[in-house]
């Protein structure tokens, strides 16, 4: 819904307004994202931010105050920092290089979106006056950008391509859960009209790599629920290898694992049996087991469950009511909610129904406040704020099929509880870690079970797939004449460079740096615009976006060669049409204006990798070819030797004739 109070009143801009976190980034909150490009939408959003004038970081910086809860009040800050590439010491983006975007042109600007960590915020005296220890420049960058451990840090290039650098949820001390942060980030990307966003998935839980655990359980990483898919594998891993590795582990039959592991590890078969008993359907494969365990984990209550009407968890040391009175009030409230037939009812209705039996309204208010999202007997007392009426409502949920015992989840047979099949969240995590360690990572070789060695091999392939990409798609083309007498064309450029003359053309083609073609940009023209106006507008747009196109000039091509400069564009080229224009970009070689850093050296590893993928590498001291240290058997915990020769150079030295 459009927030008229924000959008309609221009005088309220930059007034330090507090925005709701759960809605920020939606269409109309705080702005209608109607821009035809990423840059226009960023500028429109920043109109509603507070400009941080007193921050000495050498970069423009804005902030938004976002409300998580109204009662009790809890806020977080979103910082947006604009980084100019012109002032940067290293203009090449390593994240683009690692994910396979090395042939992208370097952009003039980056926009950092930060939900800072508590440590970073503690270094600030206020959101208007950050101290120098956080803000000052370091090697051309803000220390706030370089700090690690933020709740969220994402960066966009001015052409709409971006990277999600970190997400840290509740387990890292954040005020937000990982799901909440990802939903927030996804709203930002959609609103700003991001093109593609990459991330490096290194998320862990209790020492377990989540891309492996979730891959086995759901055939996709944890970030897959937000549309992130295979982007690029390290150590030569391809998408086909990745999919086959996941399927190989997911389809592993449990009976085979039980048969071969039972003699060497007695705990694994017991874990299989425990979850097979709990499950309502057969768990046949390893994928079935991991899927069921993760689904079960998500259903187990976070709080300690309350057995029967035991209210010890509600009693405070300084509570003025006795445990017996609290237990009685709890029983009355739950029974009142039962009579509502599991419907949502207002707090006042519940209170009025309970007052028939409990006259102490203070006691009722205390118990109602404490019961929210607690388990009482076989019921979960849910509490939520109605988004329309803004009134607290309660509902009772029967969870007897899920957790019929206060100690955890219990499945019963013939109405008789089997104590040995009780499971708590702690026990579930212990079982997961055991399966992860002894089946996926450290599978012991057993005679006659050579197929087990395929599990850690497939797991290694999944772990080597860290770079994920989400494609947000192109902005829908506007193919109609606007109401203001303006229309849109979508243009990209094909670069020609005078310095390429005389060089081996095939070399540039094979290395994908001869003709980098940027994505299409929306060019808005008046209905009376001429061919000369079109050229000037294309030049202006691409010069503003890309650092290497500061001297870009459009040259005649097949489309414009017969057109005169004063001829009208409208009528010659259809509205919403796509154009590819050619031009000169200046004196620099093409490879120097791309994100791929030509000074990093040539990669040619035995695993098949031809480009830097972010993994540790070593350079041969003779040919200077880079290879992975893992592929040449240099352990990660060992330093790279002072002198290193690749296999090819070693062989050439051996074959070299000795001098007389």
Poorest-pLDDT segment among 57-66, 140-149, 330-339, 359-368: 140-149
Beta bridge partners of 385: 392
Which of these three, 166, 181, 201, is where a domain ends? 201
Read off the pLDDT of each residue in 464-474 and give the average, rounded to a whole number.
94
Assess if residue 211 is contained within a domain.
Answer: no
Higher pLDDT, 309 or 470: 470
Question: According to the model, what pLDDT value does residue 412 have?
Answer: 34
Which residue range forms the structural domain that includes residue 252? Answer: 247-302+423-468
Beta bridge partners of 124: 130
Q: Tell me the DSSP string of 437-460.
A: IIIII-PPP-TT-GGGGHHHHHHH
Clarify whether residues 497 and 460 are in a common domain.
no
Assess if residue 532 is contained within a domain.
Answer: yes
Could you read off the pLDDT of 424-461 as tens digits, one per residue?
A: 888 899 999 999 998 998 877 655 566 778 899 999 99
Instruction: Please name the residue that has the structure tokens 């387990």.
Output: 171
Assess if residue 417 is contained within a domain.
Answer: no
Residue 157: CB atoms within 10 A of its CB come to: 27
Poorest-pLDDT segment among 175-179, 235-239, 438-442, 506-510: 506-510
Higher pLDDT, 201 or 258: 201
| Cα–Cα distance measured from residue 538 to residue 544, given in angstroms and rounded to the nearest whole number | 10
Question: According to the model, what pLDDT value does residue 20 have?
Answer: 95
| Cα–Cα distance measured from residue 589 to residue 514, given in angstroms and rounded to the nearest whole number | 9
Clarify whether residues 23 and 103 are in a common domain.
yes
CATH assignment at residue 389: 1.10.10
| Cα–Cα distance measured from residue 513 to residue 105, given in angstroms and rounded to the nearest whole number | 10
In three-state secondary structure terms, 232 is strand
Assess if residue 230 is contained within a domain.
Answer: no
Clarify whether residues 167 and 37 are in a common domain.
yes
Question: According to the model, what pLDDT value does residue 588 have?
Answer: 56
CA atoms within 13 A on the CB side of 620: 17
Clarify whether residues 660 and 516 are in a common domain.
no
Residue 642: CB atoms within 10 A of its CB come to: 6
On whether the CB atoms of residues 231 and 198 are closer than 8 A, the answer is yes
Question: Of 235, 251, 607, nearest to 243 (Cα)?
Answer: 251
| Cα–Cα distance measured from residue 550 to residue 543, given in angstroms and rounded to the nearest whole number | 5
Give just the sign of the alpha carbon dihedral 69, 386, 184, 33.
negative
Highest mean pLDDT: which range of 89-103, 274-288, 481-495, 587-601: 89-103
Token pair in block for residue 328 = 């009685």
Clarify whether residues 501 and 530 are in a common domain.
yes
Cα distances (Å, whole numbers) of residue 570 to 264, 487, 532, 535, 562: 78, 9, 13, 14, 16
| Cα–Cα distance measured from residue 314 to residue 326, given in angstroms and rounded to the nearest whole number | 8
Angle between helices 210-218 and 239-250 (to 10 degrees): 70
CATH assignment at residue 507: 3.10.20
Structure confidence at residue 77 as a pLDDT band (50, 70, 90): very high
Cα-Cα-Cα-Cα torsion 244, 247, 251, 256, nearest 10 degrees, comes to 50
Assess if residue 463 is contained within a domain.
Answer: yes
CB-based burial, 323-336: b 16+ in 10 Å, e otherwise: eebbbbbbbbbbeb
Element (H, E) at 542: helix 531-545
Instruction: Please name the residue that has the structure tokens 């979103």.
Output: 78
What percent of the chain is modeled with pLDDT above 70? 79
DSSP 436: I
Assess if residue 236 is contained within a domain.
Answer: no
Clarify whether residues 298 and 316 are in a common domain.
no
Clarify whether residues 325 and 363 are in a common domain.
yes
Phi, psi of 243 (to 5 degrees): -65, -40
Clarify whether residues 454 and 389 are in a common domain.
no
On whether the CB atoms of residues 464 and 241 are closer than 8 A, the answer is no
Tell me if the bond preceding 562 is cis, omega within 30° of 0.
Answer: no
Read off the pLDDT of each residue in 110-127 and give the average, rounded to a whole number.
75
Clarify whether residues 395 and 321 are in a common domain.
yes
CATH assignment at residue 607: 3.30.40.10
Clarify whether residues 452 and 531 are in a common domain.
no
Phi, psi of 152 (to 5 degrees): -155, 140
| Cα–Cα distance measured from residue 24 to residue 3, given in angstroms and rounded to the nearest whole number | 11
Clarify whether residues 514 and 567 are in a common domain.
yes
Question: According to the model, what pLDDT value does residue 245 have?
Answer: 96
Clarify whether residues 377 and 431 are in a common domain.
no
Assess if residue 78 is contained within a domain.
Answer: yes
Which of these three, 413, 442, 468, is where a domain ends? 468
Token pair in block for residue 213 = 């655990």
Enter the pTM of the model: 0.76
**Mode of pairing for the β-strands spanning 578-584 and 553-555:** antiparallel
Asked whether residue 10 carries a pLDDT value surpassing 60, the answer given is no
Cα-Cα-Cα-Cα torsion 570, 571, 575, 579, nearest 10 degrees, comes to -90
Could you read off the pLDDT of 246-256 as tens digits, one per residue?
A: 999 999 998 88
Question: According to the model, what pLDDT value does residue 420 have?
Answer: 37
Instruction: Please name the residue that has the structure tokens 């599991």.
Output: 342
Asked whether residue 414 carries a pLDDT value surpassing 60, the answer given is no
Phi, psi of 462 (to 5 degrees): -65, -40
| Cα–Cα distance measured from residue 569 to residue 532, given in angstroms and rounded to the nearest whole number | 9
| Cα–Cα distance measured from residue 80 to residue 465, given in angstroms and rounded to the nearest whole number | 30
Element (H, E) at 183: helix 178-192
Element (H, E) at 138: strand 137-138
| Cα–Cα distance measured from residue 104 to residue 547, given in angstroms and rounded to the nearest whole number | 11
Question: According to the model, what pLDDT value does residue 258 have?
Answer: 82
What percent of the chain is modeled with pLDDT above 90? 43
Highest mean pLDDT: which range of 35-39, 81-85, 353-357, 405-409: 81-85
Poorest-pLDDT segment among 6-20, 213-227, 563-577: 6-20
- Domains of the chain: total: 5
| Cα–Cα distance measured from residue 187 to residue 447, given in angstroms and rounded to the nearest whole number | 53
Assess if residue 50 is contained within a domain.
Answer: yes
Poorest-pLDDT segment among 378-382, 520-524, 620-624, 652-656: 378-382
CB-based burial, 462-495: b 16+ in 10 Å, e otherwise: bbbbbbbbbebeebebbeeeeeeeebbbbbebeb
């Amino acid at each position: 819904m459009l927030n008229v109070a924000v959008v309609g009143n221009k005088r309220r801009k930059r007034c330090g307004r507090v925005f709701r976190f759960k809605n920020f980034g939606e269409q109309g909150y705080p702005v209608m994202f109607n821009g035809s490009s990423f840059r226009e939408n960023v500028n429109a959003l920043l109109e509603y931010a507070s400009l941080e004038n007193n921050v000495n970081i050498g970069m423009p910086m804005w902030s938004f105050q976002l409300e998580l809860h109204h009662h009790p009040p809890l806020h977080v800050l979103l910082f947006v920092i604009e980084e100019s590439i012109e002032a940067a010491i290293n203009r090449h983006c390593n994240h683009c290089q690692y994910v396979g975007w090395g042939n992208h042109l370097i952009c003039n600007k980056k926009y950092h979106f930060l939900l800072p960590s508590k440590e970073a915020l503690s270094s600030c005296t206020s959101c208007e006056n950050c101290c120098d220890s956080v803000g000052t420049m370091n090697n051309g960058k803000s220390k706030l950008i370089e700090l690690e451990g933020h709740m969220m840090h994402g960066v966009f290039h001015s052409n709409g391509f971006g990277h999600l650098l970190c997400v840290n949820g509740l387990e890292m001390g954040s005020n937000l859960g990982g799901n909440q942060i990802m939903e927030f980030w996804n709203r930002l990307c959609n609103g700003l009209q991001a093109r593609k966003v990459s991330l490096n998935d290194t998320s862990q839980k209790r020492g377990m790599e989540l891309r492996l655990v979730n891959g086995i359980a759901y055939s996709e990483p944890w970030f897959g629920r937000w549309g992130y898919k295979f982007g690029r594998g390290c150590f030569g891993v391809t998408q086909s290898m990745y999919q086959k590795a996941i399927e190989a582990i997911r389809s592993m039959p449990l009976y085979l694992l039980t048969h071969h592991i039972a003699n060497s590890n007695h705990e694994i078969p017991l874990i299989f049996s425990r979850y097979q008993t709990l499950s309502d359907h057969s768990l046949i494969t390893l994928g079935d087991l991991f899927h069921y365990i993760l689904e079960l984990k998500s259903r187990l209550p976070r709080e300690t469950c309350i057995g029967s009407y035991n209210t010890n968890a509600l009693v405070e040391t300084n509570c003025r009511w006795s445990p017996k009175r609290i237990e009685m009030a709890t029983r009355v409230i739950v029974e009142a909610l039962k009579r509502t037939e599991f419907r949502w009812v207002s707090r006042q209705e519940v209170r009025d129904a309970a007052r028939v039996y409990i006259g102490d309204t203070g006691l009722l208010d205390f118990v109602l406040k404490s019961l929210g999202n607690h388990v009482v007997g076989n019921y979960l007392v849910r509490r939520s704020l109605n988004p329309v009426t803004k009134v607290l409502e309660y509902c009772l949920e029967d969870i007897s099929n899920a957790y019929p015992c206060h100690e955890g989840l219990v499945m019963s047979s013939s109405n008789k509880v089997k104590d040995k099949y009780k499971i708590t969240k702690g026990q579930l995590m212990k079982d997961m870690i055991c399966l992860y360690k002894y089946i996926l990572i450290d599978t012991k070789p057993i005679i006659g079970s050579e197929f087990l060695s395929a599990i850690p091999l497939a797991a290694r392939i999944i772990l080597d797939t860290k770079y994920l990409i989400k494609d947000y798609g192109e902005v829908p083309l506007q193919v109609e004449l606007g109401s203001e007498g303006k229309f849109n064309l979508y243009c990209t450029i094909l670069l020609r460079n005078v310095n390429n003359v005389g060089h081996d053309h095939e070399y540039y083609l094979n290395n994908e740096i001869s003709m980098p073609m940027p994505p299409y940009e929306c060019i808005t023209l008046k209905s009376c615009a001429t061919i000369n106006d079109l050229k000037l507008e294309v030049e202006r747009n691409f010069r503003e976006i890309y650092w290497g196109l500061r001297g870009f000039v459009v040259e005649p091509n097949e489309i414009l060669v017969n057109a005169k400069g004063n001829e009208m564009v409208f009528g010659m080229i259809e509205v919403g049409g796509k154009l590819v224009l050619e031009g000169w970009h200046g004196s620099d070689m093409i490879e120097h204006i791309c994100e791929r850093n030509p000074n990093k050296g040539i990669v040619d590893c035995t695993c098949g990798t031809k480009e830097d993928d972010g993994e540790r590498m070593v350079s041969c001291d003779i040919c200077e070819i880079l290879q992975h240290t893992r592929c040449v058997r240099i352990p990660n915990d060992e330093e790279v030797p002072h002198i290193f020769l690749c296999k090819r150079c070693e062989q050439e030295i051996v074959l070299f004739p000795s001098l007389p």
